[in-house]
Structure 1
Amino acid sequence: MAAAKKDFHVSVVGGGIGGLCTAIGLHRAGVPVHLFESAHQFAEIGAGISIGPNSQNALIRLGLYDEFAKHAFIPSRNLYFQWRIGEGDDQRFLAETLCKEHGAASIHRAELLDTLVRRLPKELVSFGKRLERIEQPTDASDRQGKKVTLHFKDGSTHQTDIVIGCDGIHSHVRGALDPAKSGPSAVAGSDKLKWSGTWAYRGCIPRQRFEDAVGGEMGKFYARESQMFLGKDRHVLIFPIQGGDVVNIVAFRTDRSQWPKRPSLAPGEAWTQETTPEAMLADFEGWGKDILNMLKCVDKPSKWALHQIDPPLESYVNGRVIVSGDAAHGGTPHQGAMAGQAIEDALFFHHLFGHPSVNASNVQAALGSIDAIRVPRGNEVMVKSLEVGDVYEFAGPLGDDLERLSKDLVERWTYLWEYDFDAERAKLDDWLAQHGIA
């Protein structure tokens, strides 16, 4: 760990995967940093997540990969998914997508969080700090060199030079953005989030139970090889986690009753709802028995309404306040890319705030590089994640043309996985030089 050497202070709001990666990256770059988490301990909800080659490369550059790799399931032949038809009993094979490097690793969210917690000194974290508001100098021309004040609901305050909101898709920090610059989605909470129309059922199944439920050689095969089963308005994915001892399953069902318009949830309807196994299985009537047997292993299903920031933010910065990760570009999980984008953001902050030419006198001006470089990347990934969810369910531009669909599913990941971090670093250097900072 680097000793702090920068003459400005950064406060990170939110202790999820993105917040921890950001705080660790800043600390290692010699930036004085403190993380504020609303809960009384670090905790992650949810189940397994995919960490693609781009995200793994970012972890390598942040010095966080080795510990991650001890807990992740990394396929031996770099498989991302095999693509199959879910309807009917034959699960027709369409294609498979392979990564050029690393493979698409999978890990339980809680395991990844644990690997990160151990890398951040305890004295750099405060728990039980639920943000109430952020106070900046009211005159934008007077912000240079002035502190930002964080006000917490327990009555405490904290002054800092820079705030990075890593507080998720329901971000409170996002409300500190300027709608005139960032657009109409620059509001706190969930009021301007758009429902994709998709519900997701999620579960984790012990491998032996999974194999027994599916039966035979296919049970063993599916337990170790990541699969995506496609169908009209529905798709189901499975992949191993926890060293292959558990199978993560997510089943998606989309309401296209108003298609191509996206529906809205009824006022007051909960985003997360308990449901019954019978109701879940009814959503997949007509699907193959293997898939139905997998779903029967989810004893207490709940369903999650998948939302995204819509329209995308045009700026992630206002004065000395930044949003990152899902707070900036939160969306649907259909590319297995959203946690990875938070990690990419963290790497960018590591380079930006650790840059030898960035100091207290110019750090606010340097934030413009975020909008120039990270906004296009984050928004593109968010928009394409929504798009590919439609592709899986035969509602994209290729419809149910299986030949063209198969080709698309093999080729569409290049922009995501082969992102050039060296080129991004060079863009940052050039931007800073052009703006008189380097």
Structure 2
Amino acid sequence: MGNIEEVIVVGGGIGGLAAAYGIGKLGKKVTVIEQAPAFGEVGAGLQLGPNGLRALDALGVLDEVYQHAVFPRRHVFMDALSGKELSSVQFGEAFEKTFGYPYIVIHRSDLHSVLLKACEKLNNIRFLTNHRLESVEEFDDYVELRCENGATLKGKLVIGADGIRSVVRQKLINRNSKPVPARYVAYRFTVPMSEMTINIDWDEKLTWIGPGIHLVQYPVRHKSVINQVAVFESQNYNEENDDWGTIDELYDMFKDCCPTVKESIKFAERGFVSKLHDINPLEKWSTKRVTLLGDSAHAMLQYLAQGACQALEDTVCLVEKLKEHEADLAKALDEYQKERIPRASQVQRGARMWGKIKHAKEDHARLLRDTIMLNRTPDDYTYLEWLYKDRKLASV
């Protein structure tokens, strides 16, 4: 039958490495397979709210993460057209007292590096690169994975952390769970602080919102670099091809914005472009020996900054269930999905809704949104409690 691995994690991103580390700390032997030639993260900035930090604390890596983090003073919502402030969320002492943890921004690769180094300190975790998964088949006693490079691996437990286009999900869990196009495009780009000529307080995180558009700005890497994400609804969306969402369309969509926004997006051509997708909430994540984690289970739009946070929540919950039901893997995976599916699905739906609110086009919708935002106080965390409240995660 060949060697059967104890645990195989498919995907070496943030969720995959977090899972490998958490399960590795239980003493189990873990193999992480990654399709790329090296472990790394694509992208730039990443936001982590209290729920994500709570999970990192449970994993035991929070102090290391903090060494790379920037702690914004406020999250400020600005009108992209007029340039006026609409609302803000005050971080700091009151925020931490309410939720137990702060709010941070960090370079995505810095978080990934912390998790990779933590994994490398455990001698029961091994890594295989250039292993693109081709097929997965579950048997009574093991799961067989075949890779495009000809390798075949067998595992007692397989965790699909292989992203929105997950092979594990589509081959074994839900064959109809294809990515859902949002018709929006994101240009992600970083700019050295020395090149930013606009007059902005970089102790704050800013979100500029307008009809069918928004721009996010915040500093990373000890405020030496500004991370920016410009998002717009493409008027040229075509499901038949990928020839839409061009840089010219971006500039056209942002043409009526205030000078600060227009000056900021002039760097957009430096970055990389992604067509935004999520997946519909799933009713099932697990079989007897296979489960999903992170984007493979609940890929979501980025409007609540919860993609990484939810993957980290997944990790802590999965590790807890594996520890609690050590002798019954199927029960552990079933308990994991029962606890996580309602929560992750709620966040998926919330992200879609917040995108609609943020990008409101009709005058009456914008007036209602802006009136609510203008009349709330910076320390009113009512709308955030469902997202950030303590879910009593155990240390793993």
Q: TM-score, normalised on structure 1?
A: 0.80
Shift of 1:405: 4.0
| Pairing partner for 2:205 from 226, 229, 232 | 226
Deviation digits for residues 249-278 of structure 1 (CA, Å, limit 9, x no counterpart): 1111124x7xxxxx963313269x7x44x5
Letter in 1 for 2:277: H
Further displaced range: 114-123 or 166-175? 114-123
**Unmatched tracts of structure 1, length 5 or more:** 1-6, 138-142, 186-191, 258-262, 426-438
Hey, what's the Cα distance between the residues in 1 that align with 2:35 and 2:41? 13
Aligned 8 A contact 2:15 2:315 in 1: yes
Aligned residue for 2:322?
A: 353
Letter in 1 for 2:336: I
Name the SS for the 1:46 alignment partner.
coil
Are residues 1:286 and 2:278 paired? no
Are residues 1:107 and 2:86 paired? no
Aligned 8 A contact 2:187 2:268 in 1: no
Shift of 1:287: 0.5
Name the SS for the 2:367 alignment partner.
coil
Are residues 1:242 and 2:221 paired? yes
Hey, what's the Cα distance between the residues in 1 that align with 2:76 and 2:19? 33
Aligned residue for 2:65?
A: 68
Aligned 8 A contact 2:232 2:250 in 1: no
Deviation digits for residues 13-38 of structure 1 (CA, Å, limit 9, x no counterpart): 00000000000000112222211111
Deviation digits for residues 310-353 of structure 1 (CA, Å, limit 9, x no counterpart): 2x111111231111100010011111110111111111122111
Hey, what's the Cα distance between the residues in 2 that align with 1:66 and 1:330? 27
Name the SS for the 2:303 alignment partner.
coil
Name the SS for the 1:318 alignment partner.
coil
Hey, what's the Cα distance between the residues in 2 that align with 1:233 and 1:171? 29
Deviation digits for residues 269-322 of structure 1 (CA, Å, limit 9, x no counterpart): 269x7x44x543222011000111111133435432110102x11111123111
Deviation digits for residues 175-201 of structure 1 (CA, Å, limit 9, x no counterpart): 23344xxx842xxxxxx2111121111
Name the SS for the 2:164 alignment partner.
coil
Shift of 1:354: 2.2
Hey, what's the Cα distance between the residues in 1 that align with 2:345 and 2:337? 11
Are residues 1:253 and 2:232 paired? yes
Are residues 1:135 and 2:137 paired? yes
Aligned residue for 2:359?
A: 393
Shift of 1:47: 1.1
Q: How many residues align?
A: 377
Hey, what's the Cα distance between the residues in 2 that align with 1:417 and 1:204? 27
Are residues 1:420 and 2:387 paired? no
Aligned residue for 1:98?
A: 90
Hey, what's the Cα distance between the residues in 2 that align with 1:385 and 1:177? 27
Hey, what's the Cα distance between the residues in 2 that align with 1:159 and 1:300? 42
Name the SS for the 1:22 alignment partner.
helix
Residues 407, 16 of structure 1: alpha-carbon distance in 2 compared, 3 angstrom cutoff: farther
Name the SS for the 1:239 alignment partner.
strand
Name the SS for the 1:375 alignment partner.
helix
Hey, what's the Cα distance between the residues in 2 that align with 1:177 and 1:136? 8
| Pairing partner for 2:27 from 26, 30, 36 | 30
Hey, what's the Cα distance between the residues in 2 that align with 1:345 and 1:398? 35
Further displaced range: 96-105 or 366-375? 96-105
**Unmatched tracts of structure 2, length 5 or more:** none
Letter in 2 for 1:33: V
Aligned residue for 1:341?
A: 310
Q: TM-score, normalised on structure 2?
A: 0.88
| Pairing partner for 1:197 from 160, 176, 183 | 183
Aligned residue for 2:15?
A: 18
Hey, what's the Cα distance between the residues in 2 that align with 1:350 and 1:152? 26
Name the SS for the 1:358 alignment partner.
coil
Aligned residue for 1:266?
A: 239
* Residue pairs, 1:133-212, within 5 angstroms: 133-137=135-139, 143=140, 146-179=141-174, 184-185=176-177, 192-210=178-196, 212=197
Letter in 2 for 1:164: I
Hey, what's the Cα distance between the residues in 2 that align with 1:327 and 1:129? 17
Hey, what's the Cα distance between the residues in 2 that align with 1:343 and 1:327? 13
Aligned 8 A contact 1:136 1:148 in 2: yes
Residues 365, 112 of structure 1: alpha-carbon distance in 2 compared, 3 angstrom cutoff: same
Further displaced range: 148-157 or 392-401? 392-401
Aligned residue for 2:349?
A: 383
Hey, what's the Cα distance between the residues in 1 that align with 2:146 and 2:15? 22
Are residues 1:306 and 2:276 paired? yes
Aligned residue for 1:434?
A: none
Residues 293, 95 of structure 1: alpha-carbon distance in 2 compared, 3 angstrom cutoff: same
Hey, what's the Cα distance between the residues in 2 that align with 1:315 and 1:265? 31
Deviation digits for residues 332-386 of structure 1 (CA, Å, limit 9, x no counterpart): 111111011111111112211122x422xx1112211122100011111111111
Hey, what's the Cα distance between the residues in 1 that align with 2:365 and 2:5? 51
Residues 379, 324 of structure 1: alpha-carbon distance in 2 compared, 3 angstrom cutoff: same
Letter in 2 for 1:327: S
Aligned 8 A contact 1:8 1:31 in 2: no
Hey, what's the Cα distance between the residues in 1 that align with 2:135 and 2:277? 24
Letter in 1 for 2:78: R
Alignment RMSD (CA, Å):
2.5
Hey, what's the Cα distance between the residues in 1 that align with 2:238 and 2:102? 37
Letter in 2 for 1:113: H
Over the matched positions of the two proteins, sequence identity in percent amounts to: 27
Aligned residue for 2:53?
A: 56
Residues 30, 354 of structure 1: alpha-carbon distance in 2 compared, 3 angstrom cutoff: farther
Name the SS for the 2:270 alignment partner.
coil
| Pairing partner for 2:77 from 69, 73, 83 | 83
